[in-house]
Structures are given as structure tokens and as C-alpha cells.
Amino acid sequence: MAAPTKPTIPWKLRVTTSLLSLLLKASRRSNGTVNRRLFNLFDTQLPPNPNPIDGVTTSDVTVDATRNLWFRLFSPTTSASAATLPVVVFFHGGGFTFLSPATTRYDAFCRSLCRSINAVIVSVNYRLAPEHRYPSQNDDGFDVVKYLDENGATLGNVGKCFLAGDSSGGNTAHHVAIRVCKERLRFVRVIGLVSIEPFFGGQERVESEIRITQDPVVSLDASDWYWKAILPNGSDRDHEVVNVSGPNAVDISGLNYPKTLLVVAGFDPLKDWQRRYSEWLRKSGKDVEIIEYPKMIHGFHLFPYLPEVSQFLSHVNHFIVKQVAGS
């Protein structure tokens, strides 16, 4: 069967992503700063809710108030004890620059993930670029993992811990995984990484970036802006935070890097970078499993009315169950 030439997405999703693209473009100033007042007008957010909704309760936990580092905790109510459940530390997308765990769409996604895989979800509110550049996001992510190492026993089974993230959050999850491998933690043991359409790149323009131009959220111009927002001054896109498998990549061959589930969308301009990441993992001696949704666009997993989303959640659940059973 020939590969699809256009993404198969309903008009509702086309309208939503087009409006989001317009908002993001209007909020990204040409001088490299962000019009947060404008963006926040449209970034609808939800408070935590201790009352069960569809079998999930939520609460916000402060890690460091001085830098507004906190996480939203999603706990399923169907289990006898949350302390026996695996813990998934999740990093949201948004180009390192926008959104939070309280953003309505991410609150809903993590709630769905919690319910579908029967795990405790720790959704991290990390500092945003360009006000806070690399490695602020990675520092915040690792500090949440350290917090769980010191305080997480009452939240879930941190000995069966997963890292996960979508888009730029998938990038952060990768770098936090490396940090965890290099540090000695007492109780947290990361046994898997779920990388959902991760945001990687490099100085080179790969074929998918040039060919796939209809994605309204991760165009070349938008991607370049996000990289400039997070990179240290004077750095180019072959920096280790961008080109994770390129000339400046961290050598992970000697690390106990977790087995990775890599989710790829067929109409994601970043997919060639994601495939390079998987090849690099294998060359480094690490296990990686790839699941591709050929007809989908970047960020499809955030729209539950798409039939592929239930398949996606089933794949993630299968991966987590398998890793827990084998740990």
C-alpha cells in the first residue's frame, strides 16, 4: 500500500491547530522575546481537583517556590494503594517556551494517561525560555526526580519510574534521563522512557523538514525561533540540546539508559531527526521501540477524538506493563 500523501485529520483539528499556530506566531516577537500577556489570554488553565473526575484526582506539589518549580500529581482512584503504582514523570511540549501542566489540554492528556495506564503521573512545571535558557529546563526536570527520590515513596512506586515527554518535553526527558544515569539516586529507578514526537534538530535541513510544510505548529521558521530561544548565546543548532545524536552528542554507550518507546507521526517535519535519534540509540547499544502513525501530524496525541489516540494509549500501556513486569 502506498504511503499517504496528506495527513488524515478532521476539519475540527485543522481549525484548532491553525488557530494555535496564529496565536503562537503572534506571541513570538521578532526580537526573541515572548508576549506572555497576549498568549496567557488564550491559554486556558485548570486548577487541581482533589475530587475524582473519571477516576483521577489531581493536586499541585511545590518543589522550589523561588523558581516556580512544581508538578501536578495525577492519581488514579481505582487502585487500592497509589504507593504500588509505577510513576511517570511527564514533561509537556510548547517549544520550551509556552504552556504548563495546568493548560487545559495537558491537564486532560495527563488525566487520560493516568486512567489508561493506571499509573501516577507527575507533570512538571519547568521554567520557560527565553527568560530561562538551557539548561534550566533540564535542571528543573532532574530536581523533580531528586524530589521524588527524597519524598516520592508516598506518591507511587518510584522504583518503577518512567520518564516521558512530548515535543520539546521529549527533548527534556532525554536529557533528564542522561542526568539520572550519571547520578546516584537512592530509591528512584528509571526503567523506561516514552518519547512522543520529540523536538530534535540540527544545523542541517533534513528531508522531512523540507518536504513536510503543511504542519501549522512546527514549521521551519517556528522551530528555528524556539531553538534560538533556548540555546545559550553564541551556540548553533548542533549544540547537544538540539542535535542530540549529532557531533556534540553526549556519549551514552556506557550509561544504563532506559529502554525507549519512540512515537513518530508520519506528517511531522521532525520525523527524520527522530529516526536519527533511534538509530543513534541502537548504535549506542540501547533498546528502542518505534511506533509510527503514518497519517498523523505533530501533536496528534493531544486530541482524544482521533481514533489513533486510543491506539497510542494502548501502545504506551503495553510498553509500561512490559517494562514493569521485566524489572
pLDDT at 41: 96
pLDDT for 327 beyond 90: no
Domain ranges, ordered by start, for the chain = 11-18+56-326
* Average pLDDT of the residues in 277-291: 98
Tell me, which fold does domain 11-18+56-326 have in CATH? Rossmann fold (3.40.50)
* Average pLDDT of the residues in 41-52: 96
Q: Apex CA 284: angle with CA 280 and CA 290, to 5°?
A: 50
pLDDT for 2 beyond 60: no
- The answer to whether residues 259 and 289 touch, using CB atoms and an 8 Å cutoff, is yes
pLDDT at 3: 63
* Average pLDDT of the residues in 238-266: 97
Q: How long is the chain?
A: 327
pLDDT for 161 beyond 70: yes
* Average pLDDT of the residues in 118-132: 98
Q: Percentage helix, strand, coil, to 5, in the chain?
A: 40, 20, 40
Catalytic residues: 167, 268, 298
Show the DSSP H helices in the chain as ranges.
11-27, 36-42, 104-117, 136-151, 168-182, 207-211, 220-230, 271-283, 307-326
**Among 289, 262, 290, 252, CA closest to 194:** 262
pLDDT tens digits, 96-124: 999 999 999 999 999 999 999 999 999 99
Question: Rounded to two decimals, what is the model's pTM?
Answer: 0.97
**Among 282, 268, 117, 287, CA closest to 201:** 268
Q: Higher-confidence residue: 211 or 213?
A: 211
pLDDT tens digits, 66-79: 999 999 999 999 76
pLDDT for 80 beyond 70: no
